[in-house]
Structure 1
Amino acid sequence: MTVNLARHIAPTAVALAMLIAALVAWRNWSPPAPAEPLTLAVAASALGAPLLVADRQGFLAAEGVQSNLLHYPTGKSALDAMLNGEAEVATVAETPIMFAGLAGKPLRVIANISSSTEHAVVARADRGIRERSDLRGRRIGVALGTTAHYFIHALLTDQGLDESAVELVDLPVREQAEALAAGRVDAVATFPPYSTECRRALGERARIFPAGIRYAGYGSLVVAPDLVERRPEVLARLLRAVDHAIGWMRANPEEARAIAAEAIGIDSTVLEETWDSSRLGLELGQGFLVLLNAEARWAIAAGLVPGAAVPNYLDLIDTSALARLRPDVVTLIQLR
């Protein structure tokens, strides 16, 4: 009798325990936060690759971000879109940020997502350009206001030349390969994937002068100041998604290149040549601030922004979102 009673009680007790656990879980359960819409202006280069991967691989969706990606040929045009209200976030390198700061434009850098030495001058060897010093007196195509503009300044300075020693031609990046092949310019200062396109357009006639240690730029996530104040949670979600994407890209470089190439609209082999020149990773460090100030002094001395003064670029950097996620990578010295 006792054994039979125990046989009936045991299953009942288990069922009761499961019911109680389910009730406790139900009381503690809260529905997932609704997806936050976010419009992102992404540069068509390796600079924007972490955002492209975060979107394609579902990292943004997993963090509750309903992403709307808008594609632009350069970080400068992506930043312009953000400043014009067409997007809320932009991927952009430091030179357009520097110019925006000199112009008093409202923006906040919330993280750097990469650094690179991917810039290069692609020159026509058949016009006698064999060494960097042979650039004197030449027509050099460059997208003015981009990192390539500052890069050509740095390269010329290394040769004891200034910009007056050459003729800089403002040339959109998507027109550079054709212009170089047609002979409308003698050389082009640019960045991937356009540097690879220029080299391929010339074939054996190409002479390449890479940046090397002369110039290492930064890729950043930039937002409007009011977004930091109004929607701090969506920025936290964005950075978590980008952090996941960067980790995935490191583990899956070939797949990451394929995703970026498809989104940009180029062959993946175009990205392959320069992919490893970019160092991916979230950070905000002092080197970024130093470079912004150095470029601002160059822009003012070159007369590119008459009447401007170097601003306090710390005012354009907001560390709050990144410091909550990865305090170890925020090494910016907060000096005023």
Structure 2
Amino acid sequence: MVRIAASAVAALIAITIAIVWLSRAPPAPEPLTIAVANNFIGVPLWVAERRGFFAAEGLTATLQRLPSGKLALEAMLRGEAEVATVAETPLVFAALTGKPLRVIATYAGSGEHAIVARADRGISRVADLRGRRVGVLIGTTVHYFLHVMLIDQGLTETDITLVDLPAAEQAPALAAGQVDAVATLAPFTIQCRRALGEAARTFPMGRHYWGYASLAVAPDLPQRRPEAIGRLLRALDRTIGWMRTHPHEAMQVAMSELNVEGAVIEELWERLGFNLALDQGLVMLLQSQARWAIASGSAPGQPMPDFRALIDPSSLVRLRPGSVTITPPR
């Protein structure tokens, strides 16, 4: 009887130990597919993948690399990805056409837009674009940036001929003389300058515009998969902290992914601000761009959305409550 009792106690202890061990075991990895724009707003995602920050947070992230945030958002809306990295202009057009989406965080600022023009066609300032053919990927942040640059010189889009050009086709079109200038962003600005050589004239963004890199998801994803979204935000938070203390290593990742030289990366790096947040500036920029889209006829007859309702801060509030400063919708 004593032996049986001792065996039972030993078995009970073993079971208890097993239960405690299992309770402390790391949770099962959460899969998540992320459509990532193949430009500078993709850098934190690539760093997180390479440095193992996704895996450290229990996330099995699959990164789909796409040429632009507009295409990344479209992939998410088609259900080909669960998260998209995208700047604000595609969000505006999606909201104006009633597409179902939510912004759960912004994680970077964007200040690398520029107009690259052919000086050999007499373009020495932005005002010289009057009557010219200008290539731009319509419906993106560079489209709005072009609008702002023109307004600053007393011009409108009716004073130029807009040519809808995917970013990858802009340098060849510029070199072949199919367009007189392009509005674009890094790394395509570099490609355009190289294609023209000494004939290139560049008009950088300067003070004219500052954008946001956002994470966009389906409206129900934060409630349907809260753990996956939480792990994504924690991984990006760790990544941004690491990038701030290891800027040169982060630049190496950008060089590798974008296939550009270190000098180019260093020149642009200071115009990128990495920070996990949701602030009122995003709402104001979305509203401003929506007014432009409606007034320009790009979204004719559409009512102005309440962009505060487009933003779901619930996941970020749990991680960093102080980083959310957006006024909630009424």
TM-score (norm 1): 0.90
Partner of 2:238: 244
| Superposition pairs of residues 108-123 of structure 1, within 5 angstroms | 108-123=102-117
**Does the residue aligned with 2:302 lie in a helix, a strand or coil?**
coil
Q: 1:229-267 CA deviation, whole Å, 9 max, x = no partner? A: 100111111001001111111222222122233334555
- Distance verdict in 2 for CA 1:25–1:88, change over 3 Å: closer
Partner of 1:227: 221
| Superposition pairs of residues 86-105 of structure 1, within 5 angstroms | 86-105=80-99
How far does residue 178 in structure 1 lie from its aligned partner after superposition?
1.2
Q: Structure 1: how far apart are the matches of 2:17 and 2:28?
A: 24
Residues 106 and 214 of structure 2 are in contact (CA less than 8 Å); yes or no, is this contact kept in structure 1?
Answer: yes
| Superposition pairs of residues 290-329 of structure 1, within 5 angstroms | 290-329=284-323
Residues 46 and 271 of structure 1 are in contact (CA less than 8 Å); yes or no, is this contact kept in structure 2?
Answer: no
Residues 308 and 326 of structure 2 are in contact (CA less than 8 Å); yes or no, is this contact kept in structure 1?
Answer: no
Q: Confirm or deny that 1:195 pairs with 2:189.
A: yes
Residues 46 and 275 of structure 1 are in contact (CA less than 8 Å); yes or no, is this contact kept in structure 2?
Answer: no
Q: Structure 2: how far apart are the matches of 1:73 and 1:104?
A: 24
Residues 192 and 271 of structure 1 are in contact (CA less than 8 Å); yes or no, is this contact kept in structure 2?
Answer: no
Match of 2:44 among 18, 37, 50: 50
Q: Confirm or deny that 1:37 pairs with 2:45.
A: no
Residues 116 and 217 of structure 1 are in contact (CA less than 8 Å); yes or no, is this contact kept in structure 2?
Answer: yes
How far does residue 203 in structure 1 lie from its aligned partner after superposition?
1.8
| Superposition pairs of residues 138-287 of structure 1, within 5 angstroms | 138-287=132-281
Residues 196 and 273 of structure 1 are in contact (CA less than 8 Å); yes or no, is this contact kept in structure 2?
Answer: no
Q: Structure 2: how far apart are the matches of 1:73 and 1:258?
A: 20
**Does the residue aligned with 1:273 lie in a helix, a strand or coil?**
helix
Amino acid at match of 1:57: R
- Distance verdict in 2 for CA 1:27–1:270, change over 3 Å: closer
Q: Structure 2: how far apart are the matches of 1:35 and 1:265?
A: 31
Partner of 1:136: 130
Q: Structure 2: how far apart are the matches of 1:329 and 1:127?
A: 47
Larger gyration radius, structure 1 or structure 2: 1
Residues 309 and 329 of structure 2 are in contact (CA less than 8 Å); yes or no, is this contact kept in structure 1?
Answer: no
Amino acid at match of 1:299: A
How far does residue 307 in structure 1 lie from its aligned partner after superposition?
1.9
How far does residue 28 in structure 1 lie from its aligned partner after superposition?
8.7
Unmatched tracts of structure 1, length 5 or more: 1-18
Of 244-253 and 310-319, the range deviating more from structure 2: 244-253
Q: Structure 1: how far apart are the matches of 2:88 and 2:23?
A: 44
Amino acid at match of 2:53: F
Q: Structure 2: how far apart are the matches of 1:262 and 1:166?
A: 36
Residues 35 and 65 of structure 2 are in contact (CA less than 8 Å); yes or no, is this contact kept in structure 1?
Answer: yes
- Distance verdict in 2 for CA 1:319–1:134, change over 3 Å: same
Partner of 2:67: 73
Partner of 2:7: none
Amino acid at match of 1:89: V
Q: 1:14-63 CA deviation, whole Å, 9 max, x = no partner? A: xxxxx9xx969947943211000000000001111111111111000000
Q: 1:257-284 CA deviation, whole Å, 9 max, x = no partner? A: 2223333455555434322211110110
**Does the residue aligned with 1:183 lie in a helix, a strand or coil?**
coil
- Distance verdict in 2 for CA 1:24–1:174, change over 3 Å: closer
Residues 284 and 319 of structure 1 are in contact (CA less than 8 Å); yes or no, is this contact kept in structure 2?
Answer: yes
Sequence identity percentage: 56
Q: Structure 2: how far apart are the matches of 1:133 and 1:193?
A: 25
Amino acid at match of 2:295: A
Q: Structure 1: how far apart are the matches of 2:59 and 2:22?
A: 24
Q: 1:72-113 CA deviation, whole Å, 9 max, x = no partner? A: 000000000000000000000000001100010001100001
Partner of 1:9: none
Amino acid at match of 1:133: A
